[in-house]
Structure 1
Amino acid sequence: MIDSHVHFWQFDPIRDSWIDDEMAILRQDYLPNNLIKELKANQVQGCIAVQADQSITETEFLLDLAQQNTFIKGIVGWIDLKSPNLDEQLEKYAKQPIIKGWRHIVQAEPTGFLLQQDFIEGIRSLKQHNYTYDILVKHHQLPEVIEFLNKAEDQPFIIDHCAKPDLKNKEIEDWAKNIRIIAQQEHVYCKLSGLLTECDWANWDEKTIFNCLDVIFESFGPDRILFGSDWPVLLLASNYTNWINLLKKYTKDFTAAQKQSIFNDNAVKFYNIN
């Protein structure tokens, strides 16, 4: 098994100001030695470390962690995709094959960010350097994602956290419609992560999650879906073992080959893991 989405940080109250008092459990360091126990307990052999801060310092931090911890199988870092010398920077990082792709926290950006021409040009550069791109948005941004995908052609994309449906209010009709449109593009994958924290943290229920998963599996199919935890953010609503067990329950009647794809092979394929 490979967890396609985890974060690491040394907590800094200024840099990590997005972690407010309501998220008190996250206001501490979360490093590989904190995660390894969870991975071993759940027979997960590796993970993809995804950026949580938008800086080159963050990318270098993840590189250092990967050099010290072989269970980190890949990194999704941050780079300024609108930089005029982006290609030069990508060439530099080509010497670090542990970096599989890049991400920008678009969920925090104003409407139209994805459609800016310099950003789209940056995305096109990723394709030339064989990098993936993680799309982090909320459900209401999906119409813009659809337009963006039509401009960005066949770049390998993955939707983080199922595009954060409004599970708190259980209003997923528009989200489901847009997900089905996006999934028609076969170069777009989706991560099973981040769903519990889109619910009421103290009162989420299995049915709400399974209704969401129904849409994802009907849209993308088992060959373009990756297991991910979003640890440690997951801890706001549950714990690592509970999330894995919930996904195993949902997929209990899937074939062995389908389970192998979802929990391991799709991550290996999408992120080009050796």
Structure 2
Amino acid sequence: MPRIDAHQHFWEYSETRDTWITPEMSVIRNNFMPEHLQPILAQHHIDGCIAVQSDQTDEHTHWLLSLATANTYIKGVVGWTDLQSPHLEQQLELYRQYPLLKGFRHILQGETNRALMLEPDFTKGIAALGKAGYVYDILIYPDQLPYTAQLAGLFPAQVFVLDHIAKPAIKTGDWQQWAVDIQALAAHEHVYCKVSGMVTEADWHQWQPQDIYPCLDVVTAAFGTNRLLYGSDWPVCLLAANYSRMLQLVTNYYSRFSAAEQEAIFGENAIRVYRL
């Protein structure tokens, strides 16, 4: 079974555009391109990846698609488009010519309206995605988990993928409510979860695996190994761990699981969910 990194990013760093990359994140104030990632994946016997949007423009989505076309190890793209646009269905029709486009994401974690996903224009957009056969990646903070569960309930046929286990407060250890809300979301069997991004929610410089394993306990019990997808979140992970350490964290945790379960988490589930 091919091994897939289900979540990573590419960008050509722009100080004016990438304002989310703050001064203390200087390690990722650089260009991160396919030629930088390919040898890292090869070193770790990862056969392919999914490139996920980091800028909320259709131009960025087209740029990611051009990278995927030129680099065969990029097996799919999760892009951005305006889900609240009255012209969304026409836009999605235009995107049908790109078979490498597998889904879409909106940066909900940055929205002032924490329940934006439940607004009529947004849910109309989710309905259009489902009609067109696209996955929706969910990028949120823990306070938005209850709204996400409501959204999942509205669209039982839509495939949702939760990014970064919804970013629990690993650094402070204040994630008890997160655990309750994760279980409620996971009750919707059409929702999947990426075991990604966790190191950046811990203490960047002093985290240890035992800080993160309790949260992996929660999502593994809630979703089961058939609904978990490994993702590195490279290069964002570099704030707290290089690729090797991020992969080792997840690999070591699941080493006690069966070979079939490990194959599912590290490739099979991503291939099935994103139709790679």
TM bracket (short chain): over 0.9
Determine if the alignment matches structure 1 residue 255 to structure 2 residue 258.
Answer: yes
2:210 equivalent to 1:207? yes
Q: CA deviation at 1:61?
A: 0.7
Tell me which residue corresponds to 1:266. Answer: 269
Q: 1:137 aligns with which of 131, 140, 155?
A: 140
- CA displacement, residues 30-81 of structure 1 (integer Å, 9 cap, x when unaligned): 0011111110110001000000000011001101101110000000000000
Say how many residue pairs are matched.
Answer: 273
Q: Name the structure 2 match of 1:174.
A: 177
Rounded to whole Å, the distance in 2 between the matches of 1:213 and 1:96 is 35
Counterpart of 1:36 (choices 35, 38, 42) is 38
- With 156-165 and 144-153 compared, the bigger mean Cα shift is at 144-153
Matched, 1:70 2:72: yes
Which segments of structure 1 move beyond 6 Å, counting only runs of 4 or more?
A: none
TM-score (norm: length of structure 2):
0.97
The alignment's C-alpha RMSD in Å is 0.8
Q: Counterpart of 2:62 in 1: which secondary structure? A: helix
Matching residue's letter, 1:169: T
- Give the residue type in structure 2 aligned to 1:152: F
TM-score by length of structure 1 reads 0.98
Q: Alpha-carbon deviations, 1:165-204, whole Å to 9, x = none?
A: 0111011110000000100111000001000000110111
Aligned to 1:146: 149
Secondary structure of residue in 1 paired with 2:256: coil
Give the Cα–Cα distance (whole angstroms) in 1 for the partners of residues 202 and 251 of structure 2: 20
**Aligned to 1:10, what secondary structure does the other structure show?**
coil
CA distance in structure 1 between the aligned counterparts of 2:216 and 2:126, rounded to whole angstroms: 28
Correspondence for 1:241: 244
- Alpha-carbon distance in structure 2 between the residues aligned to 1:217 and 1:112: 26
1:122 aligns with 2:125: yes
Local SS of the residue matching 1:154: coil
Q: Report the identity percentage.
A: 45
* 198-207 or 212-221: bigger deviation: 198-207
The one of 7, 10, 26 aligned to 1:5 = 7
- The CA deviation at 1:151 is 2.3
- Structure 1 residue runs of 5 or longer lacking an equivalent are none
**Quick one: distance in 2 between partners of 1:75 and 1:239?**
23
